[in-house]
Amino acid sequence: MPDPGPSPQRPGPTAAPARFGAPSLADALAPVTGTAEAAAVGGRVLPTRPVRPFGTAPVPEAAAPAPAHEPAPAGPAHSAAALERILRGPAGLGTVSLHWARTEEPPAAPEPAAPAASRPIPGLYHHPVAEPDPVRVEELGRRIKAWAVDEVRAFPPEWEDQFDGFSVSRYMVACHPDAPTLDHLMLAARLMVAENVVDDAYCEDGATSPDVGGRLLLAHTALDPVHTTGEYQPAWEESLSSDAARRSYRSAMEYFTGAATPAQADRFRHDMARLHLGYLAEAAWDATEYVPEVWEYLAMRQFNNFRPCPTITDTVGGYELPAELHALPAMQRVIALAGNATTLSNDLYSYMKELKSPGKHLNLPVVIAEKEGLSDKEAYLKAVEVHNDLMHAFEAESAALAAACPDPRAARFLKGVAAWVDGNHYWHASNTYRYTLPDFW
Amino acid sequence: MPDPGPSPQRPGPTAAPARFGAPSLADALAPVTGTAEAAAVGGRVLPTRPVRPFGTAPVPEAAAPAPAHEPAPAGPAHSAAALERILRGPAGLGTVSLHWARTEEPPAAPEPAAPAASRPIPGLYHHPVAEPDPVRVEELGRRIKAWAVDEVRAFPPEWEDQFDGFSVSRYMVACHPDAPTLDHLMLAARLMVAENVVDDAYCEDGATSPDVGGRLLLAHTALDPVHTTGEYQPAWEESLSSDAARRSYRSAMEYFTGAATPAQADRFRHDMARLHLGYLAEAAWDATEYVPEVWEYLAMRQFNNFRPCPTITDTVGGYELPAELHALPAMQRVIALAGNATTLSNDLYSYMKELKSPGKHLNLPVVIAEKEGLSDKEAYLKAVEVHNDLMHAFEAESAALAAACPDPRAARFLKGVAAWVDGNHYWHASNTYRYTLPDFW
């Protein structure tokens, strides 16, 4: 998984690039025992707050009552504007056909992200998005922090400010503009946090550790459960609360399966298996100091990829893309292209940060420079073009598939993937303290 | 993947335990270039014999014309007997409800495997199966060898006798008694051969190689294709013909996707991602000389598992278990239990062989002995009980699911999984030269 990480806790020109899950956090992720969470039933730790059974109602029906802790909206005009913005979907060049709801009137121009907070990479093909609803961002932030701190203890209390800097609520609200309720957004936010905890704890700081294969498989069982005998099942179940990574995966997945259909959960498990294979390939190359060919790097990056995030867009949106439509080769290709484009965008935004990190951190510009004998600047600009080509291919093939597939759920899913790509770009571009850009223009 | 391997080429009390894919075979799997296969179109290697579009017709309709090269049946009586045997399905204690087709008359007792060729582990809960149709075995053997030798060059010509000893045709005919045609059986046989080639080339002889993570991911792209730009796509496509492992995966998957629905292909890819995660966990433990807890070993073995084989039973049977039914938690549990039972059976049959191999080869008896302080005999007998418990759980939960799910495809699929488990046991028990048993009784 690309590591979006947080904004640094104390931003400033001289601040060291910090992130949620930096080594000191990883060190702090040791097992904690004897807490209330350990008061489990049959070795199975239950979440302290049951998931609301909001099912798969489509958006119009799901313009739902505000959650108990959500600040009351300012009034009908505010609500209507917020709903209209949510339903409007992605905006910008090339997204004319990607609106959630058509109206007789032309949609209003989106509110751009605050200029001071956004610095897109010059020449990077992308679509600006409306500024995420601040009311949702605030309440989602409160809820996801409560989950991370109180329910799964993803990090010790002294790291709460780091977690706040991660801005996961702004991220997820930007990526899921059609989520009908905060409960739906929480599904995405928990998984995003959990994926970052696992990546940080098992991969980023332990990529060359030869036991990462065993550790990741045991973490994967928090998503894809073990079925064994009565004698050995409890020890496995207990293992799921034994570190922050597994606690986070397990709880986030439990909420997710409570809302998703079995086929949606199976799809997510598959994407996570791909992600873990990608982690292990990258770890193997790191351990052997192997610099892959560009095509090999691109193949690995299709697995170590944001894909698990956009492909839950239907669950977060409160509907289901049927498994048969999801499995269509054309749909699989569109999902892969979107995942690859958005993942390479992460490579480009994190280029300077990764240059400063110890050792050689593989990313597309670095691999192109080494394997094709280009200067750093030439390689970076070529990587931008690779990204742009993938974005254009994604949009062209997505439009063709939407036109060819009469099922409205396919069209909505494709819009949701596009919205995720745009929201992910917004989040990266607005993290100007984290993602400084090279001086190539 | 458990390594079923072949019977040794020259069996005898003093013969070294040889197998298809032994180190010298792996050494021989180096890329071969400049052959007819390299005459590819646009970097894409096409099979020399196109797959027959036999679709997903159900069994009754698919009692099909004999393939062009299939020996003509002896006559109507022969055909009827063969068909009846195929439709009869698994037999033996506990399989009363697991018949393919119900008739007014009680089914005839199955032909047992030739006693001289079968030595089941004492106390191992299993069901004997009818001896595989020798006509099918012979013709499938001829075809799969032609594919392995001529189409994908899975091994050099001098290893053909070793390949013959693998007996993959007898294996697959035993595991898929409801396959309507030899073309359907070929789908399973190609994948089984390919999985063994990859395991042998990348894992069994390179488990401690730190680059196995990168190699397996690139092999996985032969099943789950890369989608990248026009500049880099051809190099990836060319890579798929660069070694025997990828040639085998790629070709077997191409035939499979030509016959399976997209959802069936997606299911298979997911199971293969699981398998590769299991390989990498086992490799990590091997590299670090880590002896896992028994529950950890069982968790790993649920991934490094036969699962990809039985879950294609519907494609090989010419029908489809719909994705929604496949994803049901109860179905996932039954599949996992069946996969775990049949995989642990492999541990038990290969115990003596693995004891003789260099280094410590993890299997369930070895892990139980070390972690629970039991003697080798006690640990082995306990492992038999673990297997039996999983078999009983599989059968009980399979029967409950079949009763609860009214869709006849679910019932047929569950019977197909049971047939695969029984056929796999038959294959192991009849490889008496390969799988000698310990003297524990």
Q: Which of B226, B253, B291 to mutate to test the interface with A (most CBs of A within 10 A)?
A: B226
Q: Which of residues 246-285 of A touch B (CB under 8 A)?
A: 261-263, 265-266, 269-270, 273-274, 276-278, 280-285
**Contact at 8 Å (CB) between B88 and B131?**
no
A84 touches chain B (CB under 8 A): no
A213 touches chain B (CB under 8 A): yes
- Mean pLDDT to the nearest integer, B14-26: 29
Least confident of A30-34, A165-169, A242-246, B229-233: A30-34
pLDDT 10s digits, B204-227: 654 458 899 999 999 999 999 999
Contact assignment for B227 to A302 by CB distance below 8 Å: yes
Q: How far is B134 from chain A (nearest CA, A)?
A: 36
pLDDT score for B3: 53
Break chain B into its structural domains and give their ranges: 25-48+78-104+131-430
B141 touches chain A (CB under 8 A): no
Residues 6+ apart with CB under 8 A from A54: A62, A64, A180, A181, A183, A184, A259, A318
Q: Which of B215, B217, B300 to mutate to test the interface with A (most CBs of A within 10 A)?
A: B217
Q: What is the DSSP letter of A200?
A: I
Q: What is the DSSP letter of B407?
A: -
A85 has a pLDDT exceeding 70: no
Q: Report the residue from A229, A232, A287 with minimal CB separation from B210.
A: A287
Which residues in chain A have Cβ-Cβ distances shorter than 8 Å to B308? none
pLDDT score for B24: 28
A226 token code pair: 């073990």
A341 touches chain B (CB under 8 A): no
Domain A25-48+78-104+131-430 belongs to what architecture? Orthogonal Bundle (1.10)
B236 touches chain A (CB under 8 A): yes
A29 has a pLDDT exceeding 60: no
Question: What CA–CA distances, in Å, run from A29 to A204, A218, B415?
Answer: 14, 16, 45
φ and ψ at B41, to 5 degrees? -100, 115
pLDDT 10s digits, B58-109: 223 333 333 333 333 333 333 333 333 323 333 332 233 333 332 334 334 4
Residue type, B254: E
More confidently predicted of B283 and B157: B283
More confidently predicted of B122 and A38: B122
Nearest CA in chain B to A295: B232
The separation between CA A154 and the C-alpha centre of its own chain, rounded to angstroms, equals: 17
A147 has a pLDDT exceeding 90: yes
Classify residue B238 by burial, with Cβ atoms within 10 Å: 0-12, 13-18, 19+: middle
Q: Report the residue from A277, A298, A324 with minimal CB separation from B220.
A: A277
**Contact at 8 Å (CB) between A342 and A125?**
no
The separation between CA A135 and the C-alpha centre of its own chain, rounded to angstroms, equals: 21
- Mean pLDDT to the nearest integer, B47-62: 29
pLDDT score for A161: 77
Q: What is the DSSP letter of A224?
A: S
pLDDT score for A201: 85
Measured over the CA atoms of residue A431, residue A432, residue A435 and residue A437, the dihedral's sign is: positive
Q: What is the DSSP letter of A348?
A: H
Q: Which of A223, A229, A249, A392 to mutate to test the interface with B (most CBs of B within 10 A)?
A: A229
CA dist., res. A64 & res. A51, Å (int): 15
pLDDT 10s digits, A248-288: 999 999 999 999 999 999 999 999 999 999 999 999 999 99
Band (B1; pLDDT cuts 50, 70, 90): low
Q: Which of A216, A221, A226, A291 to mutate to test the interface with B (most CBs of B within 10 A)?
A: A226
A390 touches chain B (CB under 8 A): yes
pLDDT 10s digits, A199-216: 888 886 544 588 999 999
pLDDT score for A55: 28
pLDDT 10s digits, B340-369: 999 999 999 999 988 888 888 999 999 999
Residues 6+ apart with CB under 8 A from A102: none
Max mean pLDDT range (B159-168, B360-369, B431-440): B360-369
B293 touches chain A (CB under 8 A): yes
B424 has a pLDDT exceeding 80: yes
Selection from B324, B220, B218, B251 nearest residue A326 by Cα: B324
A165 has a pLDDT exceeding 70: yes
Contact assignment for B270 to A270 by CB distance below 8 Å: yes
* Neighbouring-strand partners of residue A41: A44
Residues 6+ apart with CB under 8 A from A315: A56, A184, A187, A256, A259, A260, A264, A268
**Contact at 8 Å (CB) between B56 and B319?**
yes
CA dist., res. B88 & res. B130, Å (int): 9
CA dist., res. A418 & res. A341, Å (int): 11
**Contact at 8 Å (CB) between A21 and A197?**
yes
A281 token code pair: 């390939």
Contact assignment for B298 to A324 by CB distance below 8 Å: no
Contact assignment for B336 to A227 by CB distance below 8 Å: yes
Selection from B7, B287, B252, B36 nearest residue B154 by Cα: B252
Measured over the CA atoms of residue B259, residue B260, residue B266 and residue B271, the dihedral's sign is: negative
pTM value? 0.79
CA dist., res. B63 & res. B67, Å (int): 11
More confidently predicted of A106 and A364: A364
> Mean pLDDT for chain B?
78
pLDDT score for B249: 98
B238 touches chain A (CB under 8 A): no
Q: Which of A254, A269, A280 to mutate to test the interface with B (most CBs of B within 10 A)?
A: A280
Which residues in chain B have Cβ-Cβ distances shorter than 8 Å to A236? 295, 298-299
Question: What CA–CA distances, in Å, run from B354 to B2, B204, B280?
Answer: 12, 12, 19
This complex has an ipTM of: 0.78
> Mean pLDDT for chain A?
78
Contact assignment for A288 to B327 by CB distance below 8 Å: no
Which residues in chain B have Cβ-Cβ distances shorter than 8 Å to A220? 277, 303
Query: SS3 for B377?
Result: helix
H helices of A207-261, in order, are: 212-220, 233-239, 244-259
CA dist., res. A252 & res. A271, Å (int): 15
Q: Report the residue from B262, B285, B298 with minimal CB separation from A327.
A: B262
Contact assignment for B288 to A211 by CB distance below 8 Å: yes
Selection from B417, B164, B163 nearest residue B306 by Cα: B417
Query: SS3 for B273?
Result: helix
A411 touches chain B (CB under 8 A): no
A143 has a pLDDT exceeding 90: yes
pLDDT 10s digits, A323-338: 999 999 999 999 999 9
Which residues in chain B have Cβ-Cβ distances shorter than 8 Å to A398? none
Max mean pLDDT range (B45-54, B101-110, B242-251): B242-251
Which residues in chain A have Cβ-Cβ distances shorter than 8 Å to B300? 214, 217
CA angle A251, A255, A259 (to 5 degrees): 165
Measured over the CA atoms of residue A247, residue A249, residue A252 and residue A257, the dihedral's sign is: negative
Q: Report the residue from A303, A326, A328 with minimal CB separation from B217.
A: A303
A342 has a pLDDT exceeding 90: yes
Q: Which of residues 296-325 of B touch A (CB under 8 A)?
A: 296, 298-300, 302-303, 322-324
pLDDT 10s digits, B123-133: 999 999 999 99
